[in-house]
Amino acid sequence: MDGEFRRQQILKEIQQSGTPVSGKKLAGKYSVSRQVIVQDIAILRAAGNDIVSTCRGYVCQKSSYARRTIQVRHTDDEIMEELNVIVDFGGTVEDVYIHHKVYGTLRAALGIHTRKQVQDFVEKIRSGQSSPLKNVTSGRHFHTISAETEEVLDAIEEELRKRHFLEE
């Protein structure tokens, strides 16, 4: 099982559980060591998930925000358009990440939620300071996006789909 997929499954399980989920239970379910689960939880926390360790297991702090992972693909010239769709609908682009066949998952925190932040980000890319992470995987990449409601996230996905950015 791919590490990123496992982490997303772990996150869903913790979020949907009404009680703490033990690391031992997660390790058994996903056939990995307890230490791998500890590392997965650290990665999930670094991605902005509010996971708390208790003596009985892991719990997610309830957030007033909805969060979702989307897979997208576009050209360098379309970066601004893609990001503006997300922020214009009221979303935040929490991060960008790719799955590399050798290096595994490579992730960068973004925290973009305004057009000004989109503009600043795109200017840094265009200035040659760096190239977009998506270029390592022929344009395919993922974003964790958040918004006040699931309906806002649905609207963002629909608009990205209309513009042919969303990978199904």
Three-class SS state of 116:
helix
Residue 164's nearest CA partner among 100, 44, 78 is 78
- Check residue 61 and report its DSSP letter: P
H/E stretch holding 150: helix 150-162
Residue type at 89?
A: F
Residue 121's nearest CA partner among 76, 70, 68, 88 is 76
> Is 141 annotated in some ligand binding site?
yes
> Is 151 annotated in some ligand binding site?
no
CA distance 52 to 94: 20
> Is 164 annotated in some ligand binding site?
no
Residue type at 73?
A: R
> Is 82 annotated in some ligand binding site?
yes
Largest CA distance in the chain: 49
Q: Find tokens 């949907």 and name the residue.
A: 16
User: Residues marked as binding for Ni(2+)?
Assistant: 74, 82, 141, 143
User: Residues marked as binding?
Assistant: 74, 82, 141, 143
